Amino acid sequence: MEKSVIIVLFIVLLIAVLPTNALFASKGNKSLVNQDMVSADSNNSSIVYDSNSSPFNISYADWTEKWWQWTYSIPWNKNPSYDDTGEHCDENQNGPVWFLTQAFEHPVERTCNIPQNTALLITILNSECSYAEFKELKTEEELRECAKNIQDFVTGAKASLNNITIPNIDEYRIQTDLFNFTLPQDNILNLTAQTTQAVADGNWLFLKPLPPGNYELKVKGEIDSKASANETGGNEYNGPIGWNQTTIYNLLVN
């Protein structure tokens, strides 16, 4: 075969595969994503952890418990859930996974510096029921049913990375076992400092470590606008009935 024909065929094949392989490359970075970190394949498994997996030898559900323990351990004035800019992104963060949170009060856009080789666990919209918040509940099964009832009203879980929709978010709904969390003084639940037990239920996004670069992560959660406070057990923390908010993260991985 003529050398020129081979070159043309190679270029055609390269053009054919580049759009798929470059989907999740960092903004402004045209190089392919490191396959050992996040594959840019359109398959979800290449960029997110499966809900049945055990990232870093810890089950997905256990990581979501750790997310709640982290969220509740931080006093109100430094809590990332009430941070409008991202200045508290690194609060109490350590290890191979960093936790990100939706905004609880209104849509926000945050900028966060993320260390290389760090996975990201973010809630799309989640619920938990604890003995501290729902004193009428006495058993683990009652906590479990409470969390499920609230989460069943989530209707619009969505996420995108660099404006590419991450499909099948509903597959990443997780319910935990019974777990403990500790509330400090001035906690975001506005309760006395204490340790209690809870069960959580929620829709999550667990991103594998991203290559160095800039990324826009957008997550949105909705609660059925037809639901009532009595049906959901809704309170200020769980979000208003008819919740429909978007949180944008500008991620600087370096």
Quote the pLDDT of residue 221.
Answer: 83
- 161 or 29, which is more confident: 161
pLDDT confidence bin for 227, thresholds 50/70/90: low
Domain residue ranges in the chain = 3-253
Helices (H), 80-190: 140-151
Q: Are 154 and 125 in contact (CB under 8 A)?
A: yes
Quote the pLDDT of residue 84.
Answer: 93
How wide is the angle at C-alpha 217 spanned by C-alphas 216 and 220, nearest 5°? 135
Q: What is the mean pLDDT of the chain?
A: 81
pLDDT confidence bin for 43, thresholds 50/70/90: low
- 5 or 184, which is more confident: 184
pLDDT in tens, 112-131: 999 999 999 999 989 999 99
Quote the pLDDT of residue 40.
Answer: 40
Quote the pLDDT of residue 226.
Answer: 60
Rounded to an integer, the average pLDDT of 179-198 is: 97
Burial of 44 (0-12, 13-18, 19+ CB in 10 A): middle
Quote the pLDDT of residue 225.
Answer: 60
pLDDT in tens, 98-113: 999 988 778 899 999 9
Checking DSSP bridges between strand 97-100 and strand 119-130, what pairing results, if any?
parallel
pLDDT in tens, 149-165: 999 988 878 999 999 99
- 217 or 222, which is more confident: 217
Helix, strand and coil in the chain, % to nearest 5: 25, 30, 45
Sequence-ordered list of residues with C-beta below 8 angstroms from that of 90, at least 6 positions apart, any chain: 98, 112, 113
pLDDT confidence bin for 232, thresholds 50/70/90: very low
- Collapsing DSSP states into helix, strand and coil, what is residue 242? coil
